[in-house]
Amino acid sequence: MRYIRPLSIEDAVGQLARSAGTAAILAGGSDLLVRMKGGFVEPDLIVDIKSIAGLSEIRETADGFSIGAAVPCAVLGENAGLKKAWPGVVEAAKLIGSKQVQGRCTITGNLCNASPAADSVPALVAAGARAVIAGPSGKRTIAVEAVPTGPGKTSLAKGEIIEAILLDKRSPRSGDAYLRFIPRTEMDIAVVSAGVNLTIDEHGVVTAARVALGAAAPTVLLVEEAAEALVGRKLDEAALERLAKVCAGACRPIDDKRGTIEFRRKVAGVLARRAATTAYARAGGK
């Protein structure tokens, strides 16, 4: 096993692309080190990306926010501008693990670990976040929902590294929210979860919406019909009822000791409703 700490993204990409055997990217390590400890993975090469310039920064640009791949979730919660613009994304990121884990874990790692129950991912999908990927043939930017392809699997090719997550500049009268169900108050993994992001006009009518569900299918679900249930109307009881029904119907959950299919379906609808209500209030809707 080799451990390297490249100083540039080009060097990191080159080392990964040239590596024979298994290679792993290390940012916070809160998934990687657990998998190594459990014997599930034994990388021949570990590429620590924390010394690459810019990867440990949150940048606020004219277009929005760029969150470097090595930024720990704790830092997201300390960024006032990001919290104000994207409170749903930040509250989702802050739900991952304990304070100790918060000091290490990253949203990019959460995305690339590709767990269907990843807390930050539905919020990012609802927010329309994009991933900037550096690779042997240059850079590309894709929607975050195109990254996970199944439990533990991503669409990233050999040599590719996500260097940042992009969030758009906030349009006026917009809000987002994320909620998950766990059987306790802290330190658990979502049984099912929902992220909602919406924009309203001056009359409180929803003009744009994105609804995403977590732990409800092999990958995060972007539920387009759920957005259709909201757009063009105020967030009244009928719209919320329709939203809940569509979300429950869109789920393709598993049945396990943490929740039955029936339970997950019902709770997905309830959480989507509640998240939509919070997002609507954050957008200034009454």
Q: Does 100 bind other proteins (CB under 8 A)?
A: yes
| Nearest Cα to Cα of residue 277 among 187, 181, 206 | 206
Q: Does 109 bind other proteins (CB under 8 A)?
A: no
Closer residue to other proteins in complex, CB, 37/257 = 37
Q: Of residues 157-196, which lie at the interface with other proteins (CB under 8 A)?
A: 186-187
Q: Does 5 bind other proteins (CB under 8 A)?
A: yes
In the complex, least distance from residue 55 CB atom to other proteins, rounded to whole angstroms? 14
**In this chain, which stretch among 22-30, 159-167, 174-182, 271-279 interacts with other proteins, using CB under 8 A?**
22-30
Q: Does 30 bind other proteins (CB under 8 A)?
A: yes
Q: Concatenated DSSP letters for 193-249?
A: EEEEEEEE-TTS-EEEEEEEEESSSSS-EE-HHHHHHHTTS-S-HHHHHHHHHHHHH
Q: Concatenated DSSP letters for 141-202?
A: EEEGGGSEEETTEESPPTT-EEEEEEEEPPPSSEEEEEEEE-SSSSS---SEEEEEEEEE-T
Q: Which of 72, 109, 135, 259 binds other proteins (CB under 8 A)?
A: 72
The H or E element that residue 25 is part of is strand 23-26
DSSP state of 3: E
Q: Does 50 bind other proteins (CB under 8 A)?
A: yes
In the complex, least distance from residue 51 CB atom to other proteins, rounded to whole angstroms? 9
Count other C-beta atoms under 10 Å from residue 68's C-beta.
24
* Dist. CA 258–CA 255, nearest whole Å: 8
Closer residue to other proteins in complex, CB, 1/146 = 1
Cα 108 from chain centroid?
8
Q: Does 141 bind other proteins (CB under 8 A)?
A: no
Closer residue to other proteins in complex, CB, 36/231 = 36
The binding site for other proteins (CB under 8 A) comprises 1-3, 5, 26, 28-30, 33-34, 36-38, 46, 48, 50, 72, 74, 97-101, 103-104, 186-187
